[in-house]
Amino acid sequence: MRRRLLPLVLLAGCTSGFAHDGKVQVVASAYPFQWLAERVGGSAVDVTGLVPPGAEPHDVELSPKQVGLVEQAAVVVYLKGFQPSVDDALGGGKQGLDLGTVVTQQALTTGGGQTAKDPHIWLDPVRMEAAADALAARLSDKDASHATAYKANADAVKKDLQAIDTLYQSDLMGCARHEIVTSHSAFGYLAARYGLTQRGITGVSPDEEPTPKKLAEVAEYARKNSVTTIFFESLVDPKVAKTVAAEIGARTAVLDPVEGVHGADDYLSVQRRNAAALRLALGCTR
């Protein structure tokens, strides 16, 4: 009984996905989707992120209050299969905008020869352009009075994303190497877009613990391909990356999967920093 009372309480301030001030209520399941919703929705929407700053989004568990927000939102921007608790909260709700239906997801080989869909679609700025258009269309369906603004906002976001795409293309010209070793396999889309080969120490989940055999295999791969930098992430303990780096005499550096940001950072600033880190690590002659 307690579980079902929450949405009724929330209805006092939010009816049919609209707040008392008329703003469209949008819930984003992870930071990149929150950034996109804030940019595309602009002043006409009120965006709530389900993952607090600095937290790891893969295994987020929703509080009862967050479940209520999901149930009462006009639009929930998410990726089916990425965060099971979000899928559960949505159920079959029509408010969900599954970005996996908008962009093409690539398969990722996991342990035991199994494959899974790589969730990190936002690391490819070209795929994010398609997501911006889809979100503008969904918001326009919910709130036709601001359709022109949503379209204009999406176009502005796409220009910023195109600038990031151009930056990567420019920074990654004339590289001495094209192989990257990362602490977890989050950068497949980025690698595919810009002609790189990713070798992850762990799989798609950053919580995975690599076996000694896997560490030895990654170290051998790095030696064979003259890898000079082992990348780790800002939200994950760097000890595994440092272990491999020490084994082969390489340096470590941050390559951020943009799953959460700090301070004045946003999606665009982190992507710019990633481009610079890759240029240095790969010996590119830009």
Q: Could you tell me which residue, 278 or 213, shows the higher pLDDT? A: 278
Query: Residue 4 pLDDT > 50, yes or no?
Result: no
Q: Where are the domains of the chain?
A: 2-103+119-167, 174-281
| Beta strands 197-202; 179-184: pairing state | parallel
Query: Residue 5 pLDDT > 50, yes or no?
Result: no
What is the predicted pLDDT for the residue at 108? 64
Model pTM score: 0.89
DSSP β-bridge partners for residue 54: none
CA–CA separation, 126 and 149 (whole Å): 22
Per-residue model confidence as pLDDT tens digits over 200-211:
998 766 667 788
What is the predicted pLDDT for the residue at 115? 66
The position carrying tokens 């301070």 is: 263
CATH 3.40.50.720 matches 2-103+119-167: no
- Which of 279, 274, 269, 191 is closest to 232 using CA atoms? 274
| Whether the domain at 2-103+119-167 and the domain at 174-281 fall into the same CATH topology | yes
The position carrying tokens 């176009």 is: 155
Per-residue model confidence as pLDDT tens digits over 17-59:
887 788 999 999 999 999 999 999 999 999 999 998 878 898 7
What is the predicted pLDDT for the residue at 59? 79
CA–CA separation, 270 and 247 (whole Å): 28
Q: What is the residue-averaged pLDDT of the chain?
A: 89
Per-residue model confidence as pLDDT tens digits over 98-145:
999 999 888 765 544 556 688 999 999 999 999 999 999 999 999 999
Range from 105-114, 187-196, 199-208, 276-285 carrying the lowest mean pLDDT: 105-114
Helices then strands, each counted (H, E), the chain? 10, 12
CATH fold label, 174-281: Rossmann fold (3.40.50)
What is the predicted pLDDT for the residue at 6? 39
User: 139 near 40, Cβ under 8 Å?
Assistant: yes
